[in-house]
Amino acid sequence: MSSSKPPPPPRSDRPPSFNKERDEFIETFFNKGARFTQELLRENEALNQQIAELENDNAAMRLQIKSDQAIRELLTKIEQLETEKAQLVSEFREVEAKSSAVEMTYSEVENELANLASLYVASRQLHSTMNVSSAVRQLKEILEQLVGAATYAVYFLSDDATRLVRIASHGMEDDALAHVDLREGPVGKVFTAGASSIAEDGDLTNRGVSNPAACIPLRIADRVVGVIAIFSTLEQKTRFLPVDYEFFKLLSGHAASAIVAARLFADADRQVPGIESFLEHGV
């Protein structure tokens, strides 16, 4: 029995150097392909990174756009609020001005009422007594407390109608201007003229007998029977106010009547006249 041998390898007609070059080419080709693939992968990764950055930038831009829009809306809202604020401030100032006017009017009315009350009280005090000393005392309190007189004198016409006699005073020496000639000095001139003389400027607190702050004639009906002379005022009384002029009118028309009525009542032994004296006749 014969043994069989394997067949010899197929014969290659290509030389060994060709195979070697082929293998080297294949190896070089694959190496270049691998490098190219790696480069492609790196470029792809870089592109992906750029895409991610662009997406981030895009997202940031969208946020910025939204933020800008919000800012524009906020600025618009602020402008609206500023307009509303200006309108409210204008309305508030109008209301404040009206309120100030109301307060001023209220204050003026309050002052007028206070002045009227003072005038009423002064008139009532003058006529509340039928005693001469009490009537003179009421007159002095009005001059000191309501008018603010510091130095003053009250004069009445003498019985012989030749001079003015001081019946009351404050802040003066006993013998200072106790009598006044009807034709001399500011007191005599006011009595003769029958018109008040009131200083409207200058220091009222530092006047004297030669330059009184005010001289007021005292009347009974149309007849002048005396004079009130205010020679100086209190320190806080630097000028006469409108209400003081009203006090001067009140005193000019009522002070003498109250004092004379009290004097006549005392002369009548404080007796009220009989009813016949009050009855109207010839009506």
Q: For residue 154, what pLDDT is reported? A: 95
| pLDDT of the residue at 99 | 75
Topology of the domain comprising 130-267:
Beta-Lactamase (3.30.450)
Beta-strand pair 163-170/149-157: antiparallel
Q: Which helix (H) or strand (E) holds 180?
A: strand 179-181
Every domain of the chain and the residues it spans: 21-127, 130-267
275 secondary structure, DSSP code? G
Greatest extent of the chain over all pairs of C-alpha atoms, in Å: 204
The vertex-182 CA angle with 180 and 187, nearest 5°, equals: 60
CA atoms within 13 A on the CB side of 10: 3
**Ordered per-residue pLDDT tens for the chain, 283 residues:** 445 555 555 554 555 566 676 667 677 766 777 777 777 778 878 888 888 887 787 777 777 777 778 888 888 888 888 888 888 888 888 887 877 777 777 677 777 777 777 778 778 887 777 888 888 999 999 999 889 999 999 999 998 999 999 999 998 887 778 889 888 889 999 999 999 999 988 889 888 888 999 999 999 988 999 999 999 999 999 899 888 999 999 999 899 989 888 888 887 777 777 777 667 654 4
Q: Element (H or E) spanning 216, and its range?
A: strand 214-220
HSE-up of residue 103 (Cα within 13 Å, Cβ side): 6
What gap in Å lies between CA 233 and CA 198, rounded to an integer? 12
Angle between helices 132-141 and 16-127 (to 10 degrees): 160
Q: How far is it, in rounded angstroms, from Cα 62 to Cα 203?
A: 82
CA nearest to 230, candidates 168, 161, 164, 157: 168
- Confirm whether pTM is higher than 0.75: no
For 224, the enclosing helix (H) or strand (E) is strand 223-233
Predicted local distance difference test score (pLDDT) of residue 212: 93
CB 218 within 8 A of CB 256: yes
| Residue 283 pLDDT | 45
What's the residue count for the chain?
Answer: 283
CA distances from 15 to 9, 21, 22, 25, 256 (A): 15, 10, 11, 16, 166
